[in-house]
């Protein structure tokens, strides 16, 4: 934030005071932001571990904080999230041949950051 305000031409003292004020009232808490973004990525966007990592990095979260935030993301959680997503998508793909369903589900899950092992496990369980 400091960099963006500096790039826009704000005075250093004003930037420092603003950042201090926002930090004191709790609006600049990276840990809670990372936690909230993790929840959004996992629950609402149906992202896998790699997808969440990219989502957090794109939002400017530090690598160490990303690793800390993802430390409680277990393989069971990942498989369950992938299974829920695949089952939802399977309903719209039922009319296609199995190979087409398999290919489309594989692509959808991979683009959301699920590992190949998780994708393979979930597709076999859904089909």
What residue spans define the domains of the chain?
2-72, 75-126
* Residue whose entry in the numeric block shows the structure tokens 């290919």: 103
> For 36-66, how does the pLDDT look when each residue is reduced to its tens digit (9 = 90+)?
999 999 999 999 999 999 999 999 899 999 9
Mind listing the pLDDT tens digit for each residue in 91-123?
999 999 999 999 999 999 999 999 999 999 999
Q: pTM for the full model?
A: 0.79
Of all residues in the chain, what percent carry a pLDDT higher than 70?
100
Q: Please tell me the distance from the alpha carbon of residue 98 to that of residue 76, in angstroms, as a whole number.
A: 26
The sign of the torsion formed by the CA atoms of 20, 57, 121, 105 equals: positive
């Amino acid at each position: 934030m400091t960099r963006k305000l500096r790039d826009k031409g704000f005075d250093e003292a004003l930037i420092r005071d603003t950042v201090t004020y926002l930090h004191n009232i709790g609006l600049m808490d990276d840990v809670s932001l990372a936690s909230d973004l993790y929840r959004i990525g996992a629950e609402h966007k149906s992202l896998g571990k790699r997808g969440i990592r990219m989502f957090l990095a794109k939002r400017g979260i530090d690598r160490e904080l990303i690793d800390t935030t993802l430390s409680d993301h277990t393989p069971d959680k990942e498989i369950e999230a992938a299974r829920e997503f695949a089952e939802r998508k399977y309903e719209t793909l039922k009319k296609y041949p199995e190979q087409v369903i398999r290919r489309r589900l594989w692509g959808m899950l991979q683009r959301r950051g699920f590992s190949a092992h998780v994708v393979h496990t979930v597709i076999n369980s859904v089909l």
